[in-house]
Amino acid sequence: MSQFHGARRRLVEQLQQCGVRDLTVLRAFDLTPRHLFVPTGMRHRAYEDSALPIGNGQTISQPSTHARYLELLRLTGREKVLEIGTGSGYQTVLLSHLAAQVFSIERVGALLDRAREAIRESGARNVSLLVGDGTLGWRDYSPFDAILVTAGAPSVPAPLVEQLADGGRILIPIGGREEQTLTLVTRRGSELEHRDIGPARFVPLIGTFGWPK
């Protein structure tokens, strides 16, 4: 919808003012229609830098939070990426502009149904979706060059480590159910290199290798 074009442009400018420097990340925001991923009654707020409710007790994160995540991954456009927690599908489409292939898992079927429709409407064609336990990963398509986890875990789920390519990285909030530390984990052969990025607050990662429901 052309009526949102100016608002999207202003959001990109706001992200630049917040310190986002990666031009490919900024381009992804310019190409992704966030209004498709929020409830119809909230579309007038779609391009604010704020989190918004999307139903089923979930939210769509602030664009600046997504931008921070995506900059940390340093994607080149050639990667195969796994996203744990499709949610609204907005970040999934941002990733589709930054990677060769995106595989995304969501445990709430109703959320995934809505996300699937919005992703289709956005025009993304390099995205595959699965309803299931994200802590188990998606072994059929592994190894992944990058894994992005959008919920807080007590530790890095073992299956995700197993499905990570050598030199690949996992970005995941690690800690308690309420507060975590955003952590970048890089695989170097059989070793894992952990880098703490900063404090984070995400919903708990529910699953076999996460928190109990």
Confidence check: pLDDT of 1 > 80:
no
CA distance 134 to 136: 5
CA distance 110 to 33: 21
pLDDT in tens, 128-182: 999 999 999 999 999 999 999 999 999 999 999 999 999 999 999 999 999 999 9
How do the domains of the chain map onto residue ranges?
2-200
Across the range 84-104, mean pLDDT stands at 97
Active-site residue flag, 61: yes
Confidence check: pLDDT of 58 > 90:
no
Q: Among the options 2, 50, 61, 142, which is catalytic?
A: 61
User: What CATH fold (topology level) applies to the domain 2-200?
Assistant: Rossmann fold (3.40.50)
SS3 state of residue 163: coil
Which band of pLDDT confidence, cut at 50, 70 and 90, is reported for residue 213? confident
CA distance 209 to 145: 21
SS (H, E, C) 47-74: CCCCCEEEECCEEECCHHHHHHHHHHHC
- The β-bridge relationship of strands 144-149 and 127-131 is unpaired
